[in-house]
Chain A
Amino acid sequence: NVEPRSVPVFPWHSLVPFLAPTQSD
């Protein structure tokens, strides 16, 4: 028997390389 391999699933936001600096008031 061959166990089914789990396919990694990545969250959409991991594709964006950086978080922009937040603006403070």
Chain B
Amino acid sequence: APSAPPPPPGAVLPPSLPPYFVKGSIIQLADGELKRVEDLKTEDFIQSAEISNDLKIDSSTVERIEGSHTSPNFAVVQFSVGEHRAQVSVEVLVEYPFFVFGQGWSSCCPDRTTQILELPCTKLSVGDVCISLTLKNLK
């Protein structure tokens, strides 16, 4: 069975923290262009989604951030998604980065993100608008 590619040498990642957030990871945009994860801009996501056949960009506003009952290493982030303001909660490691429109990578604990991933990161706050994806309506 195919397995996920290994993280870069030297990277020791906690479970649930994907390897592509490590600084220097190579990301392929929809037009084939390659960029480092730390160099991605809002426009890269928007333009990639425009090219995509089945995905489109949606905006997800952070409505609440609270500690997880499961572990102090996790946070629960509640988003209001899209024009219909659908409520979505995700439980993530506090260092898990989200991409904020016009701002870049942000996490609940940017110091840990920078420490573990070396990814430049700002503090994720209530009111931030993150990039999310939704499926285009296929007819």
Chain A interface residues toward B at CB < 8 A: 7-23
Contacts and interface: CB of A to CB of B under 8 A. Distances in A.
B113 to A, nearest CB: 14
Contact of B26 (A10, A18, A19, A22): A10
Interface residues of B, number: 38
Interface string B111-134: 000000000000000000001111
Give the 9 A-B CB pairs with smallest separation, nearest first: A8-B5, A10-B20, A20-B134, A20-B81, A12-B48, A16-B133, A9-B26, A20-B58, A20-B132
Interface in B1-31: 5-6, 18-21, 25-30
Given A21-B81, A23-B82, A9 B34 contact: yes
